[in-house]
Amino acid sequence: MDLIAGGDWALFLDHDVMFVSRDWYPLLVKVIGKNEDVGLFTCFSNRVGTKAQKAPGVCPVTHDILYHRHFGQKIAEKYKDRVTDLKLEGKKRPKLSGYFLLISKRTWNKIGGVTKKGTSKVDWHIIKKCVAADIKVARIDGLYVYHYRRGLGEDGYG
């Protein structure tokens, strides 16, 4: 985060996340430009335990990439550049997963960054600090990413 300029944005992704649409980057640019009051964005996915981020109607057990590409296209066509304010109030860690966190440098500076050593649970620290600092958090409704997340069944998904 030290390497990016004050008006820039950074995207934190889990190692097992895959974009399934080719227009994901222009969508991020558009959404950022239209929603200057948002400091942290997330999106829809398939294998996630948080209701606010699980894509409606998605099959969480298939790893067929063609299925996910088609599903992602339907999400993109239906929701386009719409965002949903997730209204994360309170001091507790909200029910969000950090597989996809798009954060502005301005937000990073406002929350004082993250001083935690290592990468484990950094996403939770970012989310918790954003909530504590009353940063607006929103979901990009027209963006769906495939998330492998323990696809061998070690978490009860399949």
Span 88-127, pLDDT tens digits: 655 455 678 899 999 999 999 999 998 766 666 788 889 8
- pTM attached to this predicted model: 0.90
Query: Which pLDDT belongs to residue 10?
Result: 96
- Cα 120 to Cα 136: distance, rounded to the nearest angstrom: 24
pLDDT tens-digit series, residues 58-82: 998 899 999 999 999 999 999 999 9
What would the pLDDT profile of 137-151 be if each residue is shown by its tens digit? 999 999 999 998 765
